[in-house]
Structure 1
Amino acid sequence: MLVNYVRSRTAAEEVVAGIEAAGGQAMAIQADVRDTAAVERLIEQAQAAWGGIDVLVHNALTPYVIKPFQDMTWEELGGKLDDEMRAAFAVTKAVLPAMTEQGWGRILYLGTGLSRRPREGMIALGTAKAALNQFARYLAQELGPRGITVNIVEPGPVEGTRMANVLEEELKQRQVAATPLGRLARPGDVAQAVALYASEDNAFMTGTTAAVNGGMSMS
């Protein structure tokens, strides 16, 4: 497994160590996935190490502002849209030749419920992720005949992440109260959804979204 990072080298190396401790193979490589040339080098390194590309899990979180539309500039909204789609476009383009040649592939994008359920100040992230969701559905339609599935995993608030850690305790408790299963998501909950979509067992799901939020999206 290739673990990509831009600045969080220590976190990436911890992921690699965990994979290796479980008996897997992994390496961490720095690259900005908005840079097409950097992405191409990234994929070349993965192919040199393992001979092919079976699964893409796209979880790049590009910077965005939290503010109301009235106070926002086009550079802030349009910049987030451009970053989000440029990164998804570049990495998807880069893995397609290998997946097409082998007639099999799994592509997963990490989304957010904010793409469907607006929240104050989150217009930049929600709009960009809505574009990513539709991009994924179009790809699912186009790439299905090549044996490639394309799906979205949409976590709710996840314990221990940077976003969850900055939430005020009162807001966090309101989110827990709005969740039928009575807690926030854990990293393992999200990982299990990703693993299912990435596996050979997922032979007939494409263009779908898995909302990993304990039922919060029903409220």
Structure 2
Amino acid sequence: MMTSYPDLNGKIALVTGGSRGIGAATARALAAEGARVGVVGRDATALKQVVTEIAASGGTAEAFVADLTDAAAVTQLRDQVSAALGEVDVLGAFAGGQGFPAPTPSLTEQRWREVLDSELTSAFLTVQAFLPSMIDRSRGSILLMSSSAGRQPGQANLAYGVANAGLVMLARHLAGEVGPHGVRVNCLAPSSILTETVEARMPDQVKQQVADMHPLRRMGTPTDVAQAALFLASEASSYLTGLTVDVAGGRITN
């Protein structure tokens, strides 16, 4: 089978938030390149479906259920992945949710903490758990999933925007810290992606309105983001680190 990134063949990749949407698309794309993929999420049924699809296409994948906002659970996940697949070469910390506009006065402290935990703390704990092995082996590619809401204000509620801006800085800080150890860290910032959830809930008229907000005049797909992730995961981007790629149809420049 012809692949676009042959250096990913045989690599161990882990994708959190992998049960659906962008995470699932990235897991499938990595497996298609020959990587052995761990797929992490909270929904065991959805994870099983992704793993089954990968296997049916000739790939190799394992499902792992974990709460990534819990440090002990992330440590346990690291040990489970190491035992089942080996040491991780490519880490996609993609767990998180969707952000919707909401007035700041209505944002409760509880919701603020929930969003920061789901978006930012989960990424920090995941990277912290898997980074030492990469440093020890002097190699690794880490991908963080931010959002255009973390690049430009007004696209979502305050907590979501702040958390995703934090992910951009997390990537930049880590890139400088671990670059001397051969580990690269980059970030993806999608905008208006037609995931299964968005497809089901957004009326067609609204989809067109959203598409028209982007210079490319369409909404993105999970595959659009997955292809950018493949490039950053592979040696094709070996001189890129600390970068945030706006998979946003030009919206960030509009």
Is this a same-fold pair by TM over 0.5? Answer: yes
Matched, 1:38 2:78: no
- AA partner of residue 58 (structure 1): A
Alpha-carbon distance between aligned partners in 2 of 1:22 and 1:79, rounded to the nearest angstrom:
36
Q: How far is 1:166 from its partner?
A: 2.6
Count of aligned positions: 218
Rate the CA distance shift 1:62–1:176 in 2: closer, same or farther, 3 A: closer
Change (3 A) 1:23 1:174: same
Aligned: 1:172 with 2:207: yes
130-139 or 80-89, which moves further after superposition?
80-89
Cross-structure match for 1:184: 219
For residues 106-144 of structure 1, the C-alpha deviation after alignment (integer angstroms, 9 at most, x for no partner) is 110111101122236521211111112111110011010
- How far apart are the structure 1 equivalents of 2:156 and 2:118? 19
The alignment status of 1:77 with 2:112, answered yes or no, reads yes
Name the amino acid aligned to 2:112.
L
Instruction: Give the whole-Å Cα distance in 2 for the aligned partners of 1:217 and 1:171.
Output: 19
1:211 aligned partner = 246
Report the TM-score, using the length of structure 1 for normalisation. 0.91
Superimposed CA distance per residue, residues 8-43 of structure 1 (whole angstroms, 9 cap, x where no aligned partner):
222222221222233221111110011111111111
Q: Is the 8 A contact 1:65 1:76 kept in 2?
A: no
Q: Is 2:140 the counterpart of 1:105?
A: yes
- 98-107 vs 62-71, which deviates more? 62-71
TM-superposed CA distance for 1:59, in Å, is 1.0
Write the mapping of 1:140-179 to structure 2, written as runs, cut at 5 A: 140-179=175-214
In 2, the alpha carbon distance for the partners of 1:180 and 1:63 equals 22
Contact 1:68–1:120 (CA under 8 A) maintained in structure 2: no
Query: How big is the alpha-carbon RMSD for the aligned residues of Structure 1 and Structure 2?
Result: 2.0
More moved, 171-180 vs 89-98: 171-180
Residue number among 30, 38, 42 corresponding to 1:2 in the alignment: 38
Structure 2 residue ranges without an equivalent (≥5) = 1-36
**Identical aligned residues as a percent:** 36
Q: Secondary structure at the match of 1:23?
A: coil
Aligned to 2:26: none
* Structure 2 residue identity aligned to 1:55: V
Deviations 1:133-161 (A, max 9, x none): 11111001101001111111111112233
Alpha-carbon shift at residue 95 of structure 1 (Å): 0.5
Distance 2:168 2:211 in 1: 26
Per-residue Cα deviation, 1:34-55 (whole angstroms, up to 9, x for no partner): 1111111111121112221101
Partners in 2 of 1:113 and 1:62 — Cα distance? 13
Q: Please say if residues 149 and 156 of structure 2, whose CA atoms lie closer than 8 Å, have aligned partners that are also in contact.
A: no
CA pair 64-33 structure 1, distance change in 2 beyond 3 A: same
Equivalents in 1 of 2:250, 2:201: separation in Å? 22
Deviations 1:194-217 (A, max 9, x none): 111111222111111111122222
TM-score normalised by L of structure 2: 0.79
